[in-house]
Structure 1
Amino acid sequence: MLDFIYYPVSFILWCWHKVFGFVFGDNNAIAWILAIMFLTFTVRGIMFKPFVKQVRSMKKMQDFAPELKKIQKKYANDKQRQAQEMQKLQREHGVNPLGSCLPMVLQIPAFIGLNWVLRAFSIQPKDGSPKTNNYFFDQAGVDSYIHAKLFGVNIGDAIHHASVLGGTGGGWNWNVAPVAIPLMILASILTHLTARHSAQRQTVTAQGNPQTAMMQKLTMYIFPLGVLVFGAFFPIGLLVYWLSNNGWTLMQQRLVYTRIDKEEEAKKVEAKEKRDSLAPKPGAKPKPGQKPAQQSKPAAEESESATDDASSNGSKRNAKAGSPHRFAQQPQRPRAGQAQQRKKPASGGKNPGQKGSGQKRR
């Protein structure tokens, strides 16, 4: 039913086994281990671009995480409206939440296909006849896989062949444990380190989204524990796939994250240089057609206050002394002694206090 998955996986494995079998020999377990590892690298290489898109999508989500918090706080009592506003915000920023799950979803068919292809090497036909082929592998390829041993253990064996996972024979094979358990532990550690390294990039997003925080805990602790427990049901070849897959993921994350961080830093430096180049130099006249630089708020307030002071000083010169509120004061009434001095002069044109020639001196 899933031959559309099994045949491509089998073909990639067959190609790499031919390459390394030419160097180490077809029946050598090293050739099979390297073929499985490079099958993993081939699948991850195909998914490299979706992984980069996933990282960029995560970066955008971190950038508008404060806006998500505002929406969650504003519509805390209306979950439906909150979901609508969050989807609207994601569309405005060009972020697809499902894009972060795409690489993981694409790995699932490869894992299922490899699990079945490796187990199918040891599944005998129902009529009891010898197995002659396994998808792209002929009978020589099937015999080569069955007889390939790593430290005395066949790479197709598992600690327990669970029928649920496609295993046959059942029972516990404790002779496989010395090889399988170290691989299980290493695979579990690399799974934790990979999830931990990815979670460090999503700290801001996780603080604003409880679902993201819960998924981080699952990937950091539950998944590694699951690999450690259920690894007993995986054949040696599948444990090699899991180990190489997580090792590749950890290395790829470090390289891609470093590259994206450098790009973001370069964009910031370029934007700063652009702003500095557009700003006029001190004392230089603006170029024709260049818009004047916007005056900062403190300088604008200072110039406005200076204008107010100048206008008030001018009003003081033209008008009489005003009150502190700049209202013109009413002229004061002259006192009794001053009233006589301000009387109009006599008809002779002399002041009242001036003695005339015909007036006797008292």
Structure 2
Amino acid sequence: MFDFLLYPVSAVLWFWHAIFGSLLGHDSGLAWVLAIAFLVFTIRALLLRPALGQLRAARRTQELAPQIQWIREKHRGDQPRIAREIQQLHAEHGTSPFGGCLPALIQLPAFLSLFWVLRGFTPDAQSNQVFDRAGVESFLGADLFGAKLGNWLSQPSAELLAVGTDRAHMLAVGIPLILLAGLATYLSMRMSLRRQDTTANPQVATISKAMMYLAPVGMLVSGSFFPMPIGVLLYFLANNVWTFGQQRLLTGLVDREREEERPVRRRAVTPRPGQKPDRRRGHS
């Protein structure tokens, strides 16, 4: 579905491998590890703007949550009226109930393309987008502390021995990668949950809290029992570490923006002498 993105994504990986390969050797495992990490960092840096837009939209929607809750309580049972009132509220504040979803949909194809490019390095592949057969063989022959980047933890021992590694090396490298990636996922989701308004939508808060624990467990299970090559685990680790750092940085930026705008918003909603205050704003 996103095949048109695979070639440019693989070109970014090729570029970084060429840079680090010229310094460390083109078949060096460290060169491939750094190339994967910088591939992730490059794509994520290009997606900073939509990520910031997503966070800003989520923060604006969160600020409207008390007013939305007031509308739901006032018109309980009248769903068409509730929908109209909420739509009007978003229009008045220049927001959209889907404002936080659209940037995420923009980022999704890039993340999937990263994943599939790394999964494209298979023993029978004659090429992988930009990479020719020699590039595929270089990736498959590369290792990190004895664990081959193109192999996975649950692979049969005979197949691991055939490519020059074994179960012990795969576990020694793969398990720490999985645990670190899971930890970064947990910390990122916990940081996001702390900033959610749990009173406005307790169901969403409950689901988010459950996912905070289920996502790292899912990563542990997938990395341990499914064909998840070491190279893909490196991708998950780099991606989740970036997500954690990005969330801290962008959240602080948006918080400062909202603090600077707050006095302006307060002056804007202060009623003029003799004017009746807006009941909905009084609930915010």
* TM-score computed with the length of structure 1 as normaliser: 0.65
Task: State the alpha-carbon separation in 1 of the partners of residues 90 and 52 from structure 2.
Answer: 18
* Correspondence 1:79 to 2:110: no
Task: State the alpha-carbon separation in 2 of the partners of residues 225 and 117 from structure 1.
Answer: 25
Specify the alignment match of 1:159 in structure 2: 153
The residue type paired with residue 20 of structure 1 is F
* TM-score computed with the length of structure 2 as normaliser: 0.81
**1:183–1:239 CA contact under 8 A, matched in 2:** yes
CA spacing shift, 1:161–1:90, aligned 2, 3 Å? farther
Task: State the alpha-carbon separation in 2 of the partners of residues 124 and 57 from structure 1.
Answer: 45
5+ residue gaps, structure 2:
157-165, 275-284
* Correspondence 1:259 to 2:250: no
Specify the alignment match of 1:314 in structure 2: none
Alignment partner for residue 172 of structure 2, among 178, 190, 212?
178
Aligned length: 260
Specify the alignment match of 2:101 in structure 1: 101
Task: State the alpha-carbon separation in 2 of the partners of residues 161 and 10 from structure 1.
Answer: 25
Which structure: larger Rg? 1
**2:177–2:237 CA contact under 8 A, matched in 1:** yes
Q: Following superposition of structure 1 onto structure 2, how do residues 27-46 of structure 1 map, counting pairs within 5 Å?
A: 27-46=27-46
Specify the alignment match of 1:227 in structure 2: 219
Shift of 1:5: 2.6
Task: State the alpha-carbon separation in 2 of the partners of residues 57 and 271 from structure 1.
Answer: 16
**1:47–1:103 CA contact under 8 A, matched in 2:** no
* Correspondence 1:18 to 2:12: no
The residue type paired with residue 249 of structure 1 is T
Task: State the alpha-carbon separation in 1 of the partners of residues 70 and 273 from structure 2.
Answer: 31
| Superposed CA offset, 1:13-50 (max 9, x none) | 11111111111111111111111111111111121111
Shift of 1:225: 1.8
CA spacing shift, 1:89–1:271, aligned 2, 3 Å? closer
* Correspondence 1:238 to 2:236: no
**2:186–2:212 CA contact under 8 A, matched in 1:** yes
SS in 2 for 1:99: coil
Task: State the alpha-carbon separation in 2 of the partners of residues 153 and 200 from structure 1.
Answer: 38
Task: State the alpha-carbon separation in 2 of the partners of residues 161 and 50 from structure 1.
Answer: 38
5+ residue gaps, structure 1:
126-130, 163-172, 276-292, 296-362
Q: Following superposition of structure 1 onto structure 2, how do residues 135-214 of structure 1 map, counting pairs within 5 Å?
A: 135-160=129-154, 174-175=167-168, 176-202=170-196, 204=197, 206-214=198-206
Quote the sequence identity (%).
42
CA spacing shift, 1:86–1:238, aligned 2, 3 Å? same
- Aligned-CA RMSD value: 2.8
| Superposed CA offset, 1:100-151 (max 9, x none) | 23454344333432333223222416xxxxx3x2210122212211110111
Shift of 1:218: 4.2
Comparing 54-63 with 91-100, greater Cα deviation is found at 91-100
The residue type paired with residue 217 of structure 1 is K
Specify the alignment match of 2:281 in structure 1: none
Shift of 1:215: 4.0
**1:54–1:99 CA contact under 8 A, matched in 2:** yes
SS in 2 for 1:208: coil
The residue type paired with residue 212 of structure 1 is V
**1:121–1:146 CA contact under 8 A, matched in 2:** yes
| Superposed CA offset, 1:40-86 (max 9, x none) | 11111121111111111122122222111101212232334323322
**2:121–2:136 CA contact under 8 A, matched in 1:** yes
Q: Which one has the bigger helix percentage?
A: 2
SS in 2 for 1:207: coil
